[in-house]
Amino acid sequence: MTIQTKQTISSEPKAQHFDLKAPEWYLNRELTWLEFNKRVLWEAEDERTPLLERVKFIAIVSSNLDEFFMKRIGGLKQQVGAGISELSVDGRSPQQQITECYAVVRELEAKKQVILTQLIDQLQKQRIRFLPFIELSKDQQQAMREHYVQNIFPLVTPQAIDPAHPFPFISNLSLNLLAGVCCAETDDMTLVRIKVPVGSKVPRFIQVGNDQLYIGLADLIANNLDLLFPGMKIAFCDLFRVTRNAITELDEEQADDLLQMIESELRERKFAPVIRLEVASTMGKLQSGMLAAELGLNEEQDVFVVDKRMAMNDLFQIAGIARPDLLDPPHHPCDHPKLAGAPNIFHAIREHGSILLQHPYESFVTTVERFVKEASRDPHVQAIKMTLYRTSAGTKIVQYLIDAALNGKQVAVVVELKARFDESANIKWAHRMESAGIHVTYGVVGLKTHSKVVYVVRQDYNGLRRYAHIGTGNYHAGTARLYTDLGMLTCDKKIGEELTELFNYLTTGLVPKRNYQNLLIAPNKLKPKLLEKIEREISKHTAKLPGLIQFKMNALEDMDITKALYRAAQAGVKIDLIIRDTCRLRPGIAGLSENVRVISIVGRFLEHSRIFYFQNGGEEEYFIGSADCMKRNLESRVEVVTPVQKPELQAALRQLLTVQLSNQRSVWEMQADGRYIQLQPKDKQLGAQETLIKLANHRFAEAKTSSSHKKIKKKSEANRNTD
């Protein structure tokens, strides 16, 4: 069906032309996510981006594609294997989606190689060089050989592939060499697999001498195979890599012990089916075909030939080189003006009512970590309850929770063991907390606990008071500096009461009537409430006061929400969507969605915050929380979205939305066919993220100046009184 764009708006009645169940009005989830990675890859191409940051974006796209194969392609292949032919909402079968995704991935990979070649040339001009081993000087080759013998050679284990040695297990995402080794006396050849031991102690790129000159670890091993096979001839030696399916979920309802089930699932994932084989372009068809056959892959579809550099996610090592002149200016989050200088964070929250946090513009350490730290030490705090989806060794929150338990406080933590790729880490955190006496539970059977909440019960001067942090991002110190997220510190009585209900649900799984009037909680309340509010916006829309809906989130995938937004747009409601990656809705279709604008922002930080705004006939509503508009978030996860009602906080959210919606730098606008066009600023406009950095610093400086003036005034008044 031909899609009308907004340039050809029909004068006939709008709504009657569109069957909102028809697949042509919905974009494919996987393909729109790959489209997002095209936008990320552009950052590596954009000459305005500092050189090492461009290298970092190559690594990000590579890492994203690895995860895409493990999660999304793995799931689609399972559907194909199970004979599932059910079409997606956009009308594609699982096999169709795989085929179309493969075409886009090959296009992305080819472009990535071209860009990396250009970047390597530019790095060389900045005295950061990559050379193959054979181009090193004789002295450098000897030095590298000695380094290899002393530091790497003992870690290398060759594995023959012959009738006496079955095909070896190839671990997920490992780099491997396939070598053909011949005896000097005969032409009989043995195939040998050599795992390249890249790890925390052995970097992928080995520095040569004291200069910023690097050779690849695999190249170093390949050019010193005589140490592994003395007196033998090497017929060939080529790189390959496999990707395994990460979808190995077991039946949670049948598990006696969820912890043991997840541990078992992790073991199964290690040996999960291979779904992709990457081979160097130098590898012969005979060898790549043999590998594909041994791994159970379709040679024509599942083998990806890599022209130059494989596993480019390892370029994070190069992006981390200490060259400030080739990196973004360092960003130092400022303190929050309402908390800086406040001797007690609970007194500050009580004084201000609610406080909005904007990360990474404002410090995670001096806000969220401080909140938990002071709660762990404050003698008036009696209980701390928290949801933990992902965290990191760099976050001190777990230690503060342990301190709180040791200080005799009641501490309960809901750990989400099924946080994809963080299961092992979360099991360790859970064991560590349990051993300190913390009450650890694993949420509700059948639902992931994705909400971001810390809840503190404190004995204040006038009785028990509940304090809370509700956020959009994980309690993870690393991502708090790299992701844009929002949070709210509050002691609102109604919110506190509803969080009590939430934690009673999370720690028991029991679902008596829980009367949430303020918080929007998934899976029961959030989706119906969003749909209800969209319909309300339609009912309140008038020519005099047009309706307005603005959502900022990572993804719009849920069909019901998308349909509701289409209906609102047809009714004349203006809709602004700031969607980072997946978006099913097609904007700009005459009679259907010409009132919808969809933009995506890609910058130095990963956009991760979620905001839901409804104009509501002038009685504006703002919400922030952990949920995207994805079916899984709305129906299969425990999510918390909180209203933001304080006018000052609403004004801050309005400023954030306005900055992002009016910006022209690093902003991409979606077209009706799913493509994105990069907006072009007319002048040297700062990007939205750089603007928000300046605004945060300005708020802090202004508060500091105001505080200084108050101190001077107070001192002056004291002096007058003394006189």
- Summarize pLDDT for 585-613 with one digit per residue, the tens: 999 999 999 999 999 999 999 999 999 99
CA-to-CA dists, residue 605 to 36, 43, 483, 527, 689, angstroms: 14, 12, 5, 28, 8
Q: 720: pLDDT confidence band, cut at 50, 70 and 90?
A: very low
Decide: helix, strand or coil at residue 327. Answer: coil
Distance CA 466, CA 458 (A): 6
Are 567 and 559 within 8 A, CB to CB? no
Q: 532: pLDDT confidence band, cut at 50, 70 and 90?
A: very high
Q: Is the dihedral of CA 127, 131, 137, 140 positive or negative?
A: positive
Q: What is the DSSP letter of 477?
A: T
Are 449 and 346 within 8 A, CB to CB? no
Residue type, 582: T
Distance CA 16, CA 295 (A): 52
Token match 């307005």: residue?
548
Q: What is the DSSP letter of 571?
A: T
584 CB contacts (<8 Å, ≥6 apart)? Answer: 26, 27, 28, 29, 32, 89, 90, 556, 557, 558, 559, 562
Distance CA 483, CA 493 (A): 30
Listed range (190-194, 444-448, 521-525) with the worst mean pLDDT? 444-448
CA-to-CA dists, residue 686 to 211, 579, 663, angstroms: 35, 20, 8
628 CB contacts (<8 Å, ≥6 apart)? Answer: 553, 554, 555, 556, 557, 610
* Closest alpha carbon to 363 in 386, 347, 344, 340: 340
Q: What is the DSSP code string of 142-153? A: HHHHHHHHHHTG
Q: 673: pLDDT confidence band, cut at 50, 70 and 90?
A: very high
Whether the predicted pLDDT of 678 surpasses 60: yes
Structure token digits, residue 338: 């309402």
pLDDT digits (tens, 9 = 90+) for 280-316: 999 999 999 999 999 999 999 999 999 889 999 999 9
E strands along 497-633, which residues? 520-522, 548-553, 574-579, 596-601, 606-607, 611-614, 621-625
Q: 183: pLDDT confidence band, cut at 50, 70 and 90?
A: confident
Q: 472: pLDDT confidence band, cut at 50, 70 and 90?
A: very high
| pLDDT confidence of residue 266 | 60
Decide: helix, strand or coil at residue 382. Answer: strand
Whether the predicted pLDDT of 259 surpasses 80: no
CA-to-CA dists, residue 704 to 161, 363, 401, 690, 715, angstroms: 69, 16, 32, 21, 16
Per-residue HEC secondary structure of 271-297 comes to CCCEEEEEEECCCCHHHHHHHHHHHCC
HSE value, Cβ hemisphere, 13 Å, CA-based, for 612: 27
Distance CA 222, CA 177 (A): 8
Residues linked to residue 625 through DSSP beta bridges, in sequence order: 641
Phi, psi (degrees; rounded to nearest 5) at 280: -65, 150
CA-to-CA dists, residue 188 to 181, 191, 215, 237, 270, angstroms: 8, 10, 32, 16, 34
Q: Could you count the other beta carbons within 10 Å of the beta carbon of residue 459?
A: 13
pLDDT digits (tens, 9 = 90+) for 319-369: 999 999 999 999 999 999 999 999 999 999 999 999 999 999 999 999 999
Whether the predicted pLDDT of 397 surpasses 50: yes
Distance CA 542, CA 484 (A): 35
Q: What is the DSSP code string of 93-137? A: -HHHHHHHHHHHHHHHHHHHHHHHHHHHHHHHHTT-EE--GGGS-
What is the set of active-site residues? 450
Decide: helix, strand or coil at residue 668. Answer: strand
78 CB contacts (<8 Å, ≥6 apart)? Answer: 245, 247
Are 624 and 436 within 8 A, CB to CB? no
Q: Is the peptide bond before 273 cis (omega within 30 degrees of 0)?
A: no
Q: What is the DSSP letter of 471?
A: E
pLDDT digits (tens, 9 = 90+) for 198-221: 988 899 999 999 999 999 999 999
Phi, psi (degrees; rounded to nearest 5) at 585: -75, 140
Whether the predicted pLDDT of 718 surpasses 70: no
Distance CA 195, CA 239 (A): 10
Report, in angstroms and rounded to the nearest whole number, the Rg of the chain calculated over CA atoms.
Answer: 28
Q: What is the pTM of this model?
A: 0.91
* Closest alpha carbon to 660 in 587, 585, 603, 700: 603
Distance CA 410, CA 376 (A): 10
CA-to-CA dists, residue 376 to 200, 244, 305, 410, 699, angstroms: 33, 42, 54, 10, 29
Q: What is the DSSP letter of 6?
A: G
Residues linked to residue 411 through DSSP beta bridges, in sequence order: 384
Q: What is the greatest pairwise CA distance in the chain?
A: 108
Distance CA 575, CA 580 (A): 16
Distance CA 239, CA 314 (A): 15
Average pLDDT, integer, range 544-573: 97
